[in-house]
Structure 1
């Protein structure tokens, strides 16, 4: 017997953007399903162990909150589970970030999704889409029991890779004008670290250079971030990196294997040459490589570098961005930054979330419609919470009322505590 399910809104991908989209849609009154191929939500935050939220606050001194709404709900849920699971810190680059424990984030997202009434389907892959008259009508899915379909009125693509748009045959964009994307990184965690020692990028660079001189192989970046939480001897290390060329299985396999080799070399290098790491122990790799950039949608509007750098405001804004362009174009070097006015933010318009050629499909997270430099500012996870929340409410309003009325969308977002 063929399994078929019907919803108002279907969200694919349960990362920060997808989780926010599903909660936002459900709180707006839509019958909502969230589909995720992993066994837990969180995306890069949990499945790649990134362990730091950038973008909840504006860059530089005198930080101003740019993101609230569903993102704030999840932070509060984490604090209720364990106050030590999140720390508000000033990073090595001088920005206010939130370091967190990925395992508590999984549980906090579970709880918030359940409270909102979202139907979650984990261990589920989207293998195809059905289209009719320029609209998406259903997702073809598979689990360990076989295949099934999910019909919905509207859809949110929060896969990170614009997978729904790609399957629908909509135009997508890979990287910048030169066709390259930002570096991918496989974070890993070490326990038994003396976090009172200097773990700055400069200290890391000194240790890695010394390790290279001693002949330790498979070391890419010489300088990178080590993220720590107050009261914990466990840190997350963001160093092993590669440059993605595609998302096919051969390329994905090669990247995972290469970065795991790098992890073991970095563990050896840090234990030997970075004070405070002498008694550290490898506790977690990944478990999956983390992407900063792959495919993104072609939207009805394109967020531009000028919009980001001028901190442009607009009447059809559905989310705020507070970050600055952070560009990782090399597997061997740290990011380059384009500075912005401290304490400032910009609006992300509805059109940047709307797929140009599929009228009931919305993008969220690191795959919204933006040029290369603007993308480098909106891809961070704090902003992904915001664009996901916006996309979910947009999808709900269209599903329930027949059109994406910007006035009603903004009213609902404000009602749910979003900053717009």
Structure 2
């Protein structure tokens, strides 16, 4: 007998955006399911080991808080686990929140269960059925076989617009030349003396020496090493590659190429980076970290002008505080476009709504934005905010037939989000 599950809202993807969407929808009263293909939640934060939340604060000097709501609930749960998080000023001069990925996996489990948002791990969406402009059924797969999930509304938080793609909705790949931002394979090293200079300048000096000495397979020369207080484990963000698609063939190339780079970066850092002489490789990835792949085409598109002028919208449902951070060269650090310090821009509801499917929302890296604007909205802090907004909007549409923007804003405020 075929398994069939019935929900008000279904979220695909369990990263920061997906968790925020599921929790937001459940808190708004919708029976909610999240589907995740990995064995744990967290997305890039856990599955790629990116151990810093960017975007909870605005960029530059005098940062202001722009993300709360579900994002705050996650930070509180980390504190309850006894590890907490560290507010730090990064080498780029921006205020980030560093965390320990292994504890985050447990914190997200706890939050989802406490807020009564169901979730299936080890589950894949393999197809979608729609009628007219409405999605109705997702075809899914696990190790027992196929099953179906029916819902009134859906949120694509897959990171790669997988649900939008399978549904036939229009998606966008990269810029006008079809180039996306570089992907990076993070890795962790233990036994590091973190009191030493680990700045991008120190990294660059070490990697240039390594290249001069003939150590192969090194791409980026300058990058970030992320530290946590009281720990000798660091996260290194260096091995990089440019994706051209999402096929199994291409993903295999990306993973194997960057894993090879990791081994040579470890060799270079142990030899030329002061404080890392006794360091040991502890974790690779476990998955390559994407900055940009497919995006959903929305009813509205956030533009570079919106981000750079810090534009406010009457139908704003989330705040973005980051500045455009563009990574198009695998050998160089990202370039930043400066914005007014202590400022933020609004993300309108229409940028989270599919242009083609009336009951499909997108969050996180799905947000409809042009190339420059996307470089500001893709960070995980902002993903919490857009996921929260998309989940609440989907819940209200599922329960009451429409997601009126004033009602969405009111519910987000009730859930302590900043709008």
TM over 0.5: yes
Q: What is the CA deviation profile of residues 153-182 of structure 1, one whole-angstrom value per residue up to 9, with x for unaligned ones?
A: 000000000011100111100001111000
Structure 2 CA distance, aligned partners of 1:291 and 1:22? Answer: 22
Q: What is the CA deviation profile of residues 220-261 of structure 1, one whole-angstrom value per residue up to 9, with x for unaligned ones?
A: 000000000010000000000000000001110011000000
In the alignment, what sits opposite 1:29?
29
State the 1:367 CA deviation: 1.5
In the alignment, what sits opposite 1:13?
13
Structure 2 unaligned spans of 5+ = none
Give secondary structure in 2 for the equivalent of 1:66: coil
In the alignment, what sits opposite 1:222?
221
In the alignment, what sits opposite 1:57?
57
Structure 1 unaligned spans of 5+ = none
Structure 2 CA distance, aligned partners of 1:370 and 1:293? Answer: 11
Q: What is the CA deviation profile of residues 95-134 of structure 1, one whole-angstrom value per residue up to 9, with x for unaligned ones?
A: 0000110011111111110011011100000000010011
Structure 2 CA distance, aligned partners of 1:379 and 1:92? Answer: 20
In the alignment, what sits opposite 2:97?
98
State the 1:80 CA deviation: 1.2
In the alignment, what sits opposite 1:79?
79
Give secondary structure in 2 for the equivalent of 1:33: strand
In the alignment, what sits opposite 2:189?
190
Q: What does 1:5-404 align with in structure 2 at a 5 Å threshold? A: 5-83=5-83, 85-404=84-403
Structure 2 CA distance, aligned partners of 1:252 and 1:385? Answer: 26
Structure 2 CA distance, aligned partners of 1:198 and 1:367? Answer: 37
In the alignment, what sits opposite 2:2?
2
Structure 2 CA distance, aligned partners of 1:79 and 1:327? Answer: 32
Give secondary structure in 2 for the equivalent of 1:366: helix
Structure 2 CA distance, aligned partners of 1:91 and 1:233? Answer: 18
Q: What is the CA deviation profile of residues 127-149 of structure 1, one whole-angstrom value per residue up to 9, with x for unaligned ones?
A: 00010011000110000000000
Q: What is the CA deviation profile of residues 171-218 of structure 1, one whole-angstrom value per residue up to 9, with x for unaligned ones?
A: 100001111000000000000000000000000000001111111110
Q: How many residues align?
A: 419
State the 1:297 CA deviation: 0.6
TM-align CA RMSD:
0.5
Give secondary structure in 1 for the equivalent of 2:366: coil
Structure 2 CA distance, aligned partners of 1:280 and 1:86? Answer: 23
State the 1:406 CA deviation: 0.9
Structure 2 CA distance, aligned partners of 1:123 and 1:279? Answer: 37
Structure 1 CA distance, aligned partners of 2:137 and 2:115? Answer: 23
TM-score by length of 1: 0.99
Structure 2 CA distance, aligned partners of 1:138 and 1:330? Answer: 40
State the 1:388 CA deviation: 0.2
Structure 1 CA distance, aligned partners of 2:153 and 2:329? Answer: 38
Structure 1 CA distance, aligned partners of 2:384 and 2:69? Answer: 8
